[in-house]
Every structure is written in C-alpha cells, then in structure tokens.
Amino acid sequence: MKKIVSFFIVALCALACGKDKLDLNDPANFTPQQFYKTQSDMDIAVIGAYGRLRDVYNGFFYYWGEIRSDNTSFFNPTVDRNSVNMLVPVQVTYVEVNNFWNNLYLAIVAANTILERVDGATYTSDAVKAQHIGEAKLIRALCYFYLARTYGGYALNGNLLGVPLVTKSIIADAARKMPRNSLDDTYSLIVDDLTDAKAKLPPSMSGANTGRFTSVSAQALLGKVYMFMAGYPLNKGQAYYAKAVAEFQPVIDNPALSLVPSYVKLFDSNNKNSSEAIIEIQFKADLTNKTGNAFQSKMLTSSAAAALVPAGDAGTADNKPNISMLNAYAAGDPRKSVTFRPGYKQSSGKYKNEAYGHKYWQQLGADKSNVDNYLNWDCNWKELRLAEVYLLYAEAQVRSGGDRNAALTYLNKIRQRARTTNKADDPTIATIETQYPTWNTGDPSVTLMDYQLTDFASDDDFLLAIENESRVEFALEDKRWYDLVRTQRAPAVMTASSLTDENTTITWDDRDYALPMPQNAMINANPGVIIQNKGYTQL
C-alpha cells in the first residue's frame, strides 16, 4: 500500500525525524483512488482527523502551557527540561519542540486532505458535506492556533513571523522551499477557517456524534483567537477585544450551555461532554486500540506514580506544582483539593509529603478495567469550556472599555460555582484533608465571596483578579503560559516566580516569548529558508 503521506508537507514533519508515525489502519493512508469516494468514506476520514488530535494532546504539549509557566515544574529536571522550566534558551534540537510541531502538522495534513477531496465525493446530504468541511477547518484552525502561539514571534530578521501555511497537498521538494508566513497571515487563515466553520457546522451534536465540533465550538474559539490577536505580539488592541465580546456573547446566552454545578464532577470521566463542554478531545480507555490518554501519569511526580499507578508502571511522570501555584488558591477553595494533593499513601501505609497533580485522577466510580500501565485512561481533554468563555468575556469587557458590570457578573459566576462545590462528591478529599489538616482549611463561603466593583481601585486591579481566577480555575489545563504571553505579564510573573518557587533562578529575556523553530522538523529540511526566532541561533 502506498502511503500518501509522502505527497504532503508532513515530509517536513514526520519524515525529517526518520520515523513514519502513521497507523496503517488509518483511512488517511489510502490513496485517493481507493478512498474518499462516498459520504461514508469522508466521514471516516473526518473521524481520522479527530484521531490526529489525540496524538497532539496525548503528547507532552503541557510542557508549553503549564511547566513553562509559574504553575508547575519538572520533578526530575534534565538539561533540556531545565531550558523549559527556567527559561534559559530552549534547545532547537529538543525532541519535544519537534514532536509538538510534528503532531500539529500531521493533524493539519489530515484536515487538508478532507478539504481537497470533499468535492470529489458523492454525498447524499448537503448538510453533512458542509459539516465535514466545517469540522476539517476547525481542526486545522485549532492546530494553527497552537503553532502561532507557540512558535510565532519576532524573528532574527526583525519581522513578526508565524509558521508555514499549508492548505493543500504539496510534494516534499516544494514543501522544503516554503518560508514562514507572517504572523498576521497565520492568524488571518485561522480566522477565515473558524468563520467558515461557524457558518457550516450545526449548533449541536447528539447520539453517536456527541463530542464532534459544532458552530458553538467555532464561535467560542474565534472569540479566544481575537483575544490573542488583541494582545502581544500582534497588539491589535481594543477593537479586537470588542470583536471577542461579540463572539462570546451568543455562546454565553446559549441555553444549551451551563456550568457543571460541582467542580469535582466536572472532571469525572462519567461526565464527558457535559453542559460546560465546548471543545473536548475524545478519549476512550481501550486495551485493543489504545485510544485512552496518559494525562494523569504526566501530572504526577515519579515517586507518586510509583506508589499510585495501579499497573506498576510510572509512565512519564515528571510534574510537580510550584509553591506560588498552591498559594494562589483562597483558603478552603475546593478547586485546590480537586486539582492537587499534598501527599499520598505509600505501600508501607505511611503518607509521603509530596504535592502532585490530581485533576485527571479517576476516583468517582470510573471503570478501570481497561487501564494498562496508566497510559490508557478514559477522561477527555477539556480544550475549551464555558468557564473559560466567562472569564475571557469578563476580561474582554474590561479591556475594551465595555460593560464592567457584565464582567463582574461572569467573574463571580466562576467563584460561585467554586464556593458551592461539595467536596464530599469525592470522598477521597475528606481522607486526604484529614491526613493533612492544614492543607486546605478555610470557609469558601467567606474566602470566595462575590467581588464588588468597589473592590477594584483600577481596571488593572480588576484584570489581576480575573487573571488569578483563571489561574486557579484552569490549573493543569495548559492555559497559563499562553495567557501570560498575550497579556505581556510573563516577564513580571516569571521573575517573581524565581523568588518564590524552589530551585528556580529566572532572568527574563524577550526570546522566551516563543519557542525556537524546531531544527529536525524544519531547519535541517529547509536550510536557509526558515528564519529562526529572535534570541536563538540560525542554523
């Protein structure tokens, strides 16, 4: 069977690494003569593109949103990991810099294939055809959004550059000659794709299609994209914050969406695709097809994994919360005990005092029979949920000079859910808080009271309150670093982090706003054409 991958830009991504990453059972591997003929073929191809997203989220993508920030650190640092952890120059040869890039472009290739083949297939429903186009464009937009935020920035030539934009099949030789597009052009493609997806996708999915992207997914993500365009480094400012408000408002007003009443139950694997879900990456514990996830393995310290992992395999555990992260929670905030734990019970029966991430631990009656080596769990990845829309909407209202009362309302909705969450929904919380009586004491009905506008002497104070609420609400959800960059708060926050968090000494350099262009994926395959980012060496 001839793999069509050789005809695509993936030649720069996967083949440059010397490894064919494609699953031979993936429909995207069939030639156009064998596949892409019917509506059913195209639906299988779309599902395959969703599968490519699993590769993105099951990798080490959280290095860039969590560990690079002041939220968490590597438990077992190496030279390469320290470059992430302590903001010394990240090595262009670091395998995870390359892998993240590769996985995103592989998903883009899958989306492009659908968009190229859809008109040649026989459809029995125009609505399904439109849906397939919308899904492919949203997948592509989501991947380019990550690429733009992670690798886009000021280049050595002084220009603000994004990434090479690939929107159709291209032979490897031509692909190697492609330069980086401007960051403006990169975001323009993202906006165009999401605008078209919003128009083509249905407003909801049900039954077997639950979890697939909708017009609400596209609209909410478009609002988030405008937030990033408004901030650093494009700095499009107030008008784009107003655009974000306009996209978020219908999402907020959608009667089909609501916050899950309990923060505990939000992460229960029995509560997938809940009323709060907007973009959720689907995983299923399955020993045969290996379609589960390894989130929890990656949120533990290695010693915690050795004690807690049921199948005797610590997986890739290497993550620990920073002191400033744990201190960011109000006293008694239930979210702290859902997201982190202060220690764990060892095989000896004694507890070890070592904080670790707990948000994706499945304690609420989940079926663990299909779990193997702690790398095949059942919970979904919550890429975008209603709570984030609430807080981004509040921020956009303040930054655009809009309705501060509306901003306050939606900020307080997040605090209201937190303070009314019943920790008894997860009995293990009581066990750990009994063992560690000073871990999370306090009355959230007092410490998480609603804010009043009079609490904020300035808009800066208001924005800091929103920022901290976002930090504790979304800890371990890969958002913190990207938000610190777009608000240009990263220099101040990371410098302060070096004073409060253990084993870190951080000297800020503007180089740190972006990762380097990955050497194996692009520069070796494209010498002299790809311009490296500012602060890194051109190879």
DSSP 414-458: HHHHHHH--GGGSHHHHHHHHHSTTSS-S-HHHHTPPP-GGG-SS
pLDDT at position 289, please? 64
Phi and psi dihedrals of 123, rounded to 5? -110, 145
DSSP-based helix, strand, coil % in the chain, nearest 5:
50, 5, 40
Q: Which has the closest alpha carbon to 267: 221, 203, 334, 206?
A: 334
pLDDT at position 501, please? 66
> Which residue positions in the chain have pLDDT lower than 70?
1-34, 76-83, 85-86, 286-292, 296-297, 300-302, 305-317, 362-376, 499, 501-504, 521-522
Q: What letter represents residue 343's amino acid?
A: G
pLDDT at position 389, please? 99
pLDDT at position 2, please? 30
The answer to whether the peptide bond before residue 203 is cis (omega within 30 degrees of 0) is: no
Which helix (H) or strand (E) segment holds residue 264: the answer is helix 263-266
CB atoms within 10 A of CB 317: 26
Residue 146's beta-bridge partner residues? Answer: none
223, 236 contact by CB (below 8 A): no
CATH of 4-179+513-523, one of 3.20.20.150, 1.25.40.390, 2.40.30.170, 1.25.10.10: 1.25.40.390
pLDDT at position 364, please? 46
208, 236 contact by CB (below 8 A): no
Q: Could you give the residue ranges of the DSSP H alpha helices within 152-203?
A: 172-175, 183-200
Q: What tokens does 150 get? A: 């992670």
pLDDT at position 270, please? 84
pLDDT at position 302, please? 65
pLDDT at position 89, please? 78
pTM value is: 0.91
Domains of the chain, residue spans: 4-179+513-523, 295-477
Strand, helix or coil for residue 369: coil
131, 156 contact by CB (below 8 A): no
pLDDT at position 296, please? 67
Burial class (CB in 10 A: 0-12, 13-18, 19+), 502: exposed
C-alpha to C-alpha distance for 394 and 411, rounded to whole angstroms: 6
C-alpha to C-alpha distance for 384 and 407, rounded to whole angstroms: 19
3, 109 contact by CB (below 8 A): no
C-alpha to C-alpha distance for 23 and 51, rounded to whole angstroms: 11
